[in-house]
C-alpha cells in the first residue's frame, strides 16, 4: 500500500512538517476553498502542490500531492437542476488541469447534502480518548424534534421513536443546539455546518428524487466524465455513503457491494473505480469488507482504513469510531486481501500495483485532546493508526 496522509491545506493544525514525521509517502488534499461546481485552475493546483512540497523553513518536504480528495460533485449535478450542465463542463476542465499537474487519482462522492453524519464529535471513551459517534436515538431526536422534518417519525422503528422523544425531552437548549451543529457538520474541510433552515432548503430540493432517479443521475454524470478521465489517465474512485444507510429522507445509493457493482458495471472503464472506506461501509453489519476487496479489488483505486464498533445487532444503528485494529471490521483480513490484490496487479504489470491508502480518522489521544483539530483528524490518533496498519501490512507482505 502507498501510505498517504490527508491534509486540509494551510489552516490544518497538522503541518506538512508533521506529515513528514509520520512517515507518510504522499499527501491527499483538495482545494476546499473553491466553490462546488467551479473550475480548479492550474494556478490554484500548482499553489497547493508547492505548499505540500515545502516545509515551514522553505526546504523541500519530499512529499507530493498524490490523491485528490475530493473534487466535489455539486448538488446541481446530483439533482440535474440549475447550472448542472455548466458544472459538468467545469468538472471536465478541472480533471484536465489535475491531470496536467501529474495527479492520477481523484476521490469524490455522490451523497446528497452531507458527506458524513455524526451526533457526537467528541464522544469520550473509558480510556479518556474521544472519538466521533453516531447514536441512532439522538439522530432521531434531531430529525423528528429539532429539524422537525415532515414524515421523519415514519423512518424509524417505534422503539427508536420512543427513545428519541425521551432524549429530546431531557436535552437543554445548549444540547439541542450542539447536536444540530454536529449532525450538519459533514462537509469536507468545513469548520461550520449548515443552519437548520439551510438544511431544510436542501431537503426540499431533493423532494421527489428517489434512489432510482439519483442512481440514473449518477450514471449520467459518469457517462460524461469517465471517458474524459480515461483519456487523461485519471482514476476516479467513488467514496461510499457515510453512514451507509438512508438518513433525513434523502436517497442513498452507494452503501453496499451491490450498489458499487451496479455503478461499476453501468459505466465499465478502468477509470471508473471505488474508494474502499472500511469505516463507512463497516458501519453496516451486512457489508463484508474482506469479501468486497476480494471481489471488487481490481476497481479499487483508493483505500481509507478505519474501524467502527457497532453498538447493537441492528443493521442500521449506533456506532462509534474505534481504534484501527479493535472494531468490527476484521482489519487483518481486509489488509490480507489488499496485499493479494497488489500482488495480482504486479503480476499483470499494472502501473497502479501499489494502491494509495490513508489512515482514516482516529481517536483524539494525548495532546490531541487539547488541540481541537478537524473532527476525526487528530495528528497523534491517526499516527497511531498508521503505525498499526503499517505493521499489519509489513507482516502480511512478507508472507508467501
User: Annotated active-site positions, please?
Assistant: 239, 277, 304, 360-361, 377
Q: What's the rounded Cα separation, in Å, for the pair 98 and 236?
A: 12
Q: What's the rounded Cα separation, in Å, for the pair 15 and 4?
A: 14
Q: What is the side-by-side strand order in the sheet with 307-310?
A: 120-124, 130-134, 319-322, 307-310
Q: What's the rounded Cα separation, in Å, for the pair 116 and 138?
A: 16
Q: What's the rounded Cα separation, in Å, for the pair 342 and 301?
A: 11
Residue 60: what are its φ and ψ, rounded to 5°?
A: -65, 140
Structure letter (DSSP) for residue 54: B
Contact 7, 29 (CB under 8 A): yes
Contact 269, 224 (CB under 8 A): no
Cα→Cα distances 128→306, 359, 367, 368, 388, Å = 19, 21, 12, 11, 20
E-only strand ranges, 117-265: 120-124, 130-134, 235-239
Contact 324, 331 (CB under 8 A): yes
Contact 98, 45 (CB under 8 A): yes
Q: What's the rounded Cα separation, in Å, for the pair 176 and 181?
A: 9
What SS3 state is found at 330? coil
Contact 5, 27 (CB under 8 A): yes
Question: Nearest to residue 21, comparing CAs of 383, 389, 398?
Answer: 383
Question: Nearest to residue 383, comparing CAs of 110, 20, 128?
Answer: 20
Q: What's the rounded Cα separation, in Å, for the pair 195 and 10?
A: 26
Q: Residues 170, 176, 179, 185: what is their CA dihedral angle, to the nearest 10 degrees?
A: 180
Residues 6+ apart with CB under 8 A from 399: none
Contact 130, 122 (CB under 8 A): yes
Amino acid at each position: 500500500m502507498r501510505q498517504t496522509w490527508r491534509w486540509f491545506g494551510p489552516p490544518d493544525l497538522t503541518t506538512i512538517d508533521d506529515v513528514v514525521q509520520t512517515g507518510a509517502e504522499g499527501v491527499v488534499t483538495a482545494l476546499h476553498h473553491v466553490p462546488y461546481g467551479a473550475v480548479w485552475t492550474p494556478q490554484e493546483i500548482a499553489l497547493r502542490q508547492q505548499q505540500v512540497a515545502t516545509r515551514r523553513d522553505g526546504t523541500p518536504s519530499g512529499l507530493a500531492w498524490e490523491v485528490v480528495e475530493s473534487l466535489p460533485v455539486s448538488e446541481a449535478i446530483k439533482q440535474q437542476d440549475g447550472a448542472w450542465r455548466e458544472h459538468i463542463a467545469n468538472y471536465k476542465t478541472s480533471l484536465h488541469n489535475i491531470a496536467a499537474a501529474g495527479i492520477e487519482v481523484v476521490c469524490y462522492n455522490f451523497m446528497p447534502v452531507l458527506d458524513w453524519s455524526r451526533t457526537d464529535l467528541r464522544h469520550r471513551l473509558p480510556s479518556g480518548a474521544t472519538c466521533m459517534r453516531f447514536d441512532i436515538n439522538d439522530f432521531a431526536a434531531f430529525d423528528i424534534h429539532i429539524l422537525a422534518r415532515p414524515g421523519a417519525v415514519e423512518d424509524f422503528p417505534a422503539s427508536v421513536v420512543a427513545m428519541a422523544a425521551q432524549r429530546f425531552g431531557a436535552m437543554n437548549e445548549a444540547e439541542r443546539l450542539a447536536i444540530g451543529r454536529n449532525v450538519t457538520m459533514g462537509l469536507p474541510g468545513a469548520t461550520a455546518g449548515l443552519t437548520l433552515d439551510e438544511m431544510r432548503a436542501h431537503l426540499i430540493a431533493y423532494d421527489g428524487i428517489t434512489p432510482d432517479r439519483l442512481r440514473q443521475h449518477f450514471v449520467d454524470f459518469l457517462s460524461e466524465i469517465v471517458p474524459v478521465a480515461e483519456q487523461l489517465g485519471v482514476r476516479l474512485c467513488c467514496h461510499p455513503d457515510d453512514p451507509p444507510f438512508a438518513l433525513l429522507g434523502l436517497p442513498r445509493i452507494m452503501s453496499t457491494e451491490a450498489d458499487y457493482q451496479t455503478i461499476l458495471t453501468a459505466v465499465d472503464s478502468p477509470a471508473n473505480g471505488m474508494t474502499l472506506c472500511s469505516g463507512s461501509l463497516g458501519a453496516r453489519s451486512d457489508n463484508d469488507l474482506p469479501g468486497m476487496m476480494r471481489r471488487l479489488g481490481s476497481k479499487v483505486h483508493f483505500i481509507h482504513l478505519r474501524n467502527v464498533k457497532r453498538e447493537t445487532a441492528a443493521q442500521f444503528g449506533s456506532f462509534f469510531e474505534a481504534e484501527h485494529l479493535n472494531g468490527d471490521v476484521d482489519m487483518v483480513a481486509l489488509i490480507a486481501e489488499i496485499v493479494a490484490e497488489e500482488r495480482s496487479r504486479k503480476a499483470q504489470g499494472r502501473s497502479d500495483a501499489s494502491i494509495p491508502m490513508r489512515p482514516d480518522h482516529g481517536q483524539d489521544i494525548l495532546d490531541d485532546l487539547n488541540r481541537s483539530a478537524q473532527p476525526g483528524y487528530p495528528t497523534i490518533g491517526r499516527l497511531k493508526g498508521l503505525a498499526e496498519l503499517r505493521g499489519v501490512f509489513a507482516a502480511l507482505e512478507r508472507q508467501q
